[in-house]
Structure 1
Amino acid sequence: MEKGFGPVFVYLNSAPSSKNSIRILWNDAKKQMLKEVKNWPYNFTQSEDFPSSHQRGSVLGQLLIHDRYINESFFPASSAYVGLAAPGEVGSWQRENKGYQFWNQADEEGRFIIKNVRPGNYSFYAWVPGIVGDYKYEIDITITPGSNIKLDNLTYEPPRNGPTLWEIGIPDRTAAEFYVPDPYPTLLNNLYTQNHTENFRQYGLWARYGERHPHNDLVYNVAINNYHDDWFYAQVTRNTGNETYVGTTWQILFELHNVTNPGNYTLQLALASANNAELQVRINNKSDEQPHFSSKLIGGDNAIARHGIHGLYWLFSVEIPSSLLKEGINTVYLTQARGGETFQGVMYDYIRLEAPSSHTDSQVVI
C-alpha cells in the first residue's frame, strides 16, 4: 500500500526588530497558514498519488442525538467532530494509521460537510463534545472522483441505561477540567506561561499527586466536592520510597435515599488516557479479592509523561446490581492496580452513575 505525504510548504517571513517582532512574525505566519488551508488541496502537483481537487469527493449531512434523559426530542450534535477513515469498528479511527482520514467539525445545528476526500472506501465516524461515546454510520461510504454524497439525517444514541444520579467531569475526552497543579518552579517552561492558562503543558505535574495526598489516596464526595478543585487530573502510582511505585485507590462517596430493587445501576467510566494501567471497580467493599469490574491491562499512549491532557479514549459501561448498594452512604472504589513505574496510570474524562431505567426520581444536580 502506498501513502503520500506532502506537498510541504515552507514560509519565511521577516519583521523590523522590536520588542513585538516575535508576535508580529507569529501572527503573520498564522495568516499565511489560513490562506494555505483554503488553497488545499493543491492542483500543481504532478504525482498520481496526490489527486487534485476535481478528482476528489465530498460528504455532507446532519447529525442528531437522541438521549431521552437529556431531552425527549432529538437535538443537534452541536460542534460534533465528524470524519471519514478506514472501515472498522466503532472508535477504530483512533488506532488506524495506514489509511487516510478526513475530518471536519459540524456547526451548532449538527450540519457538516467533509470536502476534498480521496477516492476510496470509508466508514463515517463522529464524536460529540458533551456526549459520551462514539458514533459510526452503519453503511460504509465509497468516494469516487467528483462525487457529492448527501447522507440522510443521522441519529446517534449514546450509551445510556437510566437517569443520571451524579456525574464527575465533562465528557469532552480530556482531563483539562480537573485539578491540574502548579508546575515546579525549577521545571517551569516559560514558553507556556505567556498567554496560556493551561498548567498541564508542564513537566513533572504527576509527582504532585503524592504531595497533595501524602498519606491517603483521593476521596471525593459528590455532594460536597468540586471536580475542578478536588479531582486530581491523573490517577498515577505512588512512590513509597526507594523508587518503588504502587497502584492507588480513589474513592467516590455518594448517598442514596432509596435503592431500586431489583435492577441494575450503571457506572459510565470514560477515560481520556491510559498507560500500562488496569482500572478496577469495587462497590462498598475495598477488601473484595475480586473486583466487580476490571479493564484488564490497557493503554500505551504515555500522555502523562508527555505532559498532555488526553490520549486515546476509552469507555466502559459497568453494570452494578442493586444488591451491592444500600440506602445511605455508598462508596465506589477505583483502583489503578498496576505498579512498578512512574507513568502507569489513567486520566479520567467523565464518570456518571445512572439509576435503573425504571427509576422515577428526577436527575440529581450536584
Structure 2
Amino acid sequence: MAGITATALLPLVHTPRATAATMEAPSVLETATEVVVDNGLVRLTVNRANGRTTSLVYDGVNMVGRGNYDMNTVREGGGLPLPPADNRLTVRREQDFVDIAYHHSPSGDMPCYLVRHHIVRSGEAGIHLAYSYRHPAELHGFRTDQHRYVFYTAGGVFTHASVPDDADATRWRAAAARMPTGDEISRAEMVMDATYDLEGTGSTYPRRYYTKYDWAVSMKDHSLHGLYGSGFGMWAALPNLEAFTGGPVRQDLILHQTGDTPVLLVEPQATHYGAPPVRVAAGQEWQKTYGPYFVYLNRGDDPRALRRDAAHQARFETHAAFYDRLAIEGWTATAQRSRVSGTVRIPGAPPLEGAVVVLSDDRTPMQDSVLGYNYWADVEEGGRFGIDHVRPGTYRLTVYGEGIWGEYVIDGVEIGPGQDVTLGRMLWEPTSHGRTVFQLGTPTRTSGEFRHGRDFRQYGLFERFHEDFPDGVTYTVGSSTPRDWNYIQYQRSYPVQAPEGTVLPEGAEGIRLFDLGTASSPVAAGYERVAQNTLYAAGRGFGLDRAVDSRDRGSDGELRRDFVVGSGYTFSVDLPDGEYEVTVLSGDDIAANSTRVSFQGGAFVDLVSGRGEYAVHTAVVTVTGGRLDLLTGGDGRLNAVEILATDAVVPVLQALDVDGAALVPGFSTFRSDFAVDLPWDQESVTVRATGRGGARVAIGGDVVPEAGLAVPLSAQRTVVEIAVTGEDGGEPTTYRLHVTRQERPWRILFDLDESPAPGAQATLTIALAAWAMGSALPVPPEDSNLTIRVNGEPFVWTFGPEDAKGATYRSARNGRNYSREITFDAALLRPSGNEITLQINDGVEHLWNEAAYDAVRLEIG
C-alpha cells in the first residue's frame, strides 16, 4: 500500500466488547445549542438546531469538522396542505447506548416525515447512522435525486484513501492512495465538475487529473471504504446494502479530497452514473429506512491492518443483535428475516457459476429499484444460490451473468417473515433469434474488453482518441479485434472551449474593463479588479456603494469564474460625459442566475442564465454628471463590466456570427478566442464579422463581406484567425475562432456467409454499458438518440432526459444499462459489403452524449 514507511508500526488499537450488562452507559451533556455524548472512546457533538455533527473526537483528536446530512428534493405536482411544523431533536438513553434523533416535519419540497439518527454505543469507537422516511398518502408528491451523509474531516489528519480496485480493471488505487492536498486542489485548474488538472501544482499524485469520480465503486461487492493517515483510520462500514438503490449494478461516490479537507460519504441513494431518482406520488404511502451504517475509527500505521480490523464492522452479524434491540422505526428484526435459495440452470449449458441473482422491487427492472429493498448473491457451484437476511415482501427475481444475453426474470416472489424459502430449480433459456452473423464484444454490462476499457476510471482518455483512431472507428468483422473498438463512443472528443484571452489594442482610449469577483482570484488580462469590498471613492474613480458577497467557482476562465453578488447595490465608474456602450456579463458555473441591472436609473433589464451559462447584455448609455451608475436587482451577480466610448476608434469586432451556431463563450468585443461546434459532416463554415467604426475584417487575407466568407474545414478541429485593421492601418487585432466538428459515425463492416432465405428476419441487438451526458452539464429536457443505419436504412433509438443522467466521463459503465433489439427484413442485407453505422444525436447535434458499448450481435432467423 502507498504511504507505508520504514518507521516502526504503531500497534493496532482494538477494544474488546463487553456485554451490555457490564458496560457503563455513555454520558450525555445537553445544552441549549448542542448535545454531547461520550462513551470514553469517542465524543460526539450534535447541533441541536439542525441535528448535524459538529465534532467527533477519538483518542483526543477531532476527526470531523462537520457532518452534514444533505438531500436534493423537489416537489412534484401541486402542493397540498402540510401538518404544523414540529422539527425537534430527541435523546434516547439506554443502558449501553444513546440515540440522538432529529425529526423533520413535512415541507413544501420534502412532503414527508424524516428522522435522522446518530447512535453512540458503549465500548465502540464510532457512531451508527440511520434515517427513515415516511410519506402519508394525503401529502403531495416529491422527487429525491440524492440523500447522503457527508463527513468533512478535521485537522489535516487523513492523507490517504483506502478503496478496493474494480475487479475487472487495471489496478491503480494503491499507488494513488495518497491524495492531493487541499492546497494542491485549490491551486489546480478545475477542468470539469470536481475534476482538477494538477499539472504545475507540484503534486506527487501519480495522475495528471484528480477527480472524485475516479474513486467511485460498484456496489455489488462493496461493504467498506475509508480514509487513513497520522496513525488513524476512519471507515464507512456498510453491514448491509438493502436500502441502497439501483441493485448490484449501481455505482457511486464514496470519498474524495476537496480544496479544504477530505470527505467520507455514506450515500445510499443518488443519480450519479444514471441511477434513477426516488419518486413518491401524491396518494402513495411509502416508508423506507436507510441503515444503520457504522462510521468506525481505529489506530495504527499499517493501512492493511486498519482495513482488516474495520472489515469486521462491515458484517451483518456483527451488529445484528444490537440493531434488533435498537429497533429504530422501519427496521426488520433478524428473526423476521428470511433466507431465499434455489438453483438456476441454462439447459444444455455449463453451470451458471458466477452469475448473480437479485431480489428487488416487484415488476420493476432491477436497476430501477428505488422504493423498496434489494438483495443479491452470486450463483455458486452447480447453479445454487442463497440470499440471506431478506425482509418480508413481494419481489422481482432477476438473474444475469457474464456472456449471457438478457436476463431471467420472475415477478411476484412472495417472501414471508422468518422463513427458509426454497424456490426450487429454475431453467433459463436466453433469447435467440436464429443464427449469429457476427458478435462484437461479450455481454458483461461493461465495455472493459475494448481499447482502454480496463482503464476506464481515468479522466482525460478522450484526449487520446484521435491518436488511437485518427480516421474514426471502423470494425471489420473477421479481421478486427476488440482493440479496434474504443471503450466509449464520443459525440465530441474535443471539448468545445476556447482559450482565455483579451483583445485590447495598445494605446486605445475610451475603454474601461472591470473584472468583478473575489479579492484573491485571478484577474483577466487588461481588466481592473473589483472585489466585494472595493468601495467607490472619488480618488479611485470606481467601486461599489457598499460591501457585498463574492464567489469564486474556480472554473470557466478568469473572467467568468468569480463574481460579486447581492441585491440592490450600485457599481459606479467616473467617466467623462458622453455616450458609451456598456456590456454586463452575469452568470454562475454551478447555479441558475436571475439578475437585473439598471443603467443611470433607467428601467431594469433581466439577465437570466442557466447553470454554467452567462448572460451578456449591451446598452448604449449617456453619462452626465461625470459618473456611470449601474444598479443591480434580483440575484445581483456581476462577473464583468466593459465600457467603450461610442466614438472610440479602435480596431475591434462589433459582431461575430458563425452559421448561426452558438459561440462559446457568447460574443464579447474584448474576448480574443471563441469556439463553435458543428456537425461531423460539415465541410465549410460561413463567418460573418463586422469591425467597429468601419475597421477592415479579413480571414487569410480575404476581406469578410457583409454576406460572410466561406472557410473550408480540413480537420476535426480548425483554428480560424480573424484580423481586424483600423482605417489608418497599423498592426491588426487578431481574434481566433476554434471550430470543432463532432465525431463521425462508427462503422461495422461485414459480409454474409450465406444469403438469407426469402422472408427471413434479421435482429440487431445492441447492449450499452452506458448512455449519458458527455460532461457535467445539466441534462436538457429533451430526447437524445443513437441512430443506427443498416446499409443506409435508419433506425432511431430514443432516450429520454432521465436516461441521459450520469455522464460517461465518470466511467465506461453506468448505474443503468440499456439494450435494444432492432428487427428488419433480412433482404436489406447484401452478400458482401454490408455496413452498420452508429451515430450519436443525429439531428440534435446541440446535445452532448456518449455511449459505452457492451456488445453488438446480428442474427438471422
Q: TM-score, length-normalised on structure 1?
A: 0.79
1:266 to 753, 763, 768: 763
**Structure 1 residues 304 and 208: alpha-carbon distance in aligned structure 2, compared to 1, 3 A threshold:** farther
Residue number in structure 1 paired with 2:819: 315
Shift of 1:14: 1.8
Give the distance between the partners of 1:33 and 1:226, measured in 2 at CA: 45
Give the distance between the partners of 1:131 and 1:163, measured in 2 at CA: 16
Report the AA paired with residue 278 of structure 1.
N
1:326 equivalent to 2:830? Answer: yes
Report the AA paired with residue 400 of structure 2.
W
2:851 to 346, 352, 355: 346
1:244 equivalent to 2:750? Answer: no
Give the distance between the partners of 1:149 and 1:24, measured in 2 at CA: 38
Task: Could you tell me which runs of 5 or more consecutive residues in structure 2 were left unpaired when the two chains were aligned.
Answer: 1-285, 497-674, 679-741, 774-783
**Structure 1 residues 346 and 121: alpha-carbon distance in aligned structure 2, compared to 1, 3 A threshold:** same
Report the AA paired with residue 160 of structure 1.
S
Give the distance between the partners of 1:267 and 1:15, measured in 2 at CA: 56
1:39 to 302, 312, 318: 318
- CA RMSD after TM alignment: 2.3
Shift of 1:261: 2.4
1:80 equivalent to 2:355? Answer: yes
Report the AA paired with residue 155 of structure 1.
L
1:1-366 mapped onto 2 (5 Å cutoff): 1-16=286-301, 21-30=302-311, 32-33=312-313, 36-39=315-318, 41=320, 42-66=323-347, 73=348, 75-89=350-364, 92-137=365-410, 139-180=411-452, 198-214=454-470, 216-227=471-482, 229-238=483-492, 239=494, 242-244=675-677, 246=742, 248-262=744-758, 263-275=760-772, 277-285=784-792, 288=793, 291=794, 293-298=795-800, 299-337=803-841, 338-342=844-848, 344-356=849-861
Check the 8 A contact 1:303/1:311 in 2, yes or no: no
Give the distance between the partners of 1:237 and 1:243, measured in 2 at CA: 14
Shift of 1:212: 3.1
Shift of 1:355: 2.7
Shift of 1:267: 1.4
Question: Alignment identity in percent?
Answer: 31
Shift of 1:155: 1.8
Check the 8 A contact 2:472/2:743 in 1, yes or no: no
* Partner-residue secondary structure (3-state), 1:43: helix
* Partner-residue secondary structure (3-state), 1:175: coil
Alignment coverage as a number of residue pairs: 317
Shift of 1:303: 4.1
Report the AA paired with residue 752 of structure 2.
L
Check the 8 A contact 1:164/1:353 in 2, yes or no: yes
* Partner-residue secondary structure (3-state), 1:8: strand
Check the 8 A contact 2:446/2:812 in 1, yes or no: no
Report the AA paired with residue 356 of structure 2.
Y
**Structure 1 residues 148 and 108: alpha-carbon distance in aligned structure 2, compared to 1, 3 A threshold:** same
Deviations 1:326-355 (A, max 9, x none): 11221111122253355x111110111223
Check the 8 A contact 1:280/1:294 in 2, yes or no: yes
Shift of 1:231: 0.7
**Structure 1 residues 248 and 62: alpha-carbon distance in aligned structure 2, compared to 1, 3 A threshold:** farther
Residue number in structure 2 paired with 1:188: none
* Partner-residue secondary structure (3-state), 2:340: strand
Give the distance between the partners of 1:310 and 1:335, measured in 2 at CA: 19
Give the distance between the partners of 1:272 and 1:353, measured in 2 at CA: 18
Residue number in structure 2 paired with 1:359: none
Structure whose residues are more often strand by fraction: 2
Report the AA paired with residue 386 of structure 2.
I
* Partner-residue secondary structure (3-state), 2:816: coil
Task: Could you tell me which runs of 5 or more consecutive residues in structure 1 were left unpaired when the two chains were aligned.
Answer: 67-72, 182-197, 357-366
Check the 8 A contact 1:266/1:320 in 2, yes or no: yes
Deviations 1:203-261 (A, max 9, x none): 122343244334x321111211111x111011111249625263641100112132112
Deviations 1:278-319 (A, max 9, x none): 11221122xx5xx1x211125224241323433311111122
Residue number in structure 1 paired with 2:75: none
Check the 8 A contact 2:762/2:823 in 1, yes or no: yes
Shift of 1:37: 3.8
Give the distance between the partners of 1:230 and 1:150, measured in 2 at CA: 46
Deviations 1:162-217 (A, max 9, x none): 12222111211011111118xxxxxxxxxxxxxxxx42111122343244334x32
Give the distance between the partners of 1:6 and 1:170, measured in 2 at CA: 36
Shift of 1:33: 4.6
Shift of 1:25: 2.6
**Structure 1 residues 232 and 86: alpha-carbon distance in aligned structure 2, compared to 1, 3 A threshold:** same
Q: Tell which has more relative contact order, 1 or 2 (C-alpha 8 A, sep 6+).
A: 1
Check the 8 A contact 1:301/1:311 in 2, yes or no: no
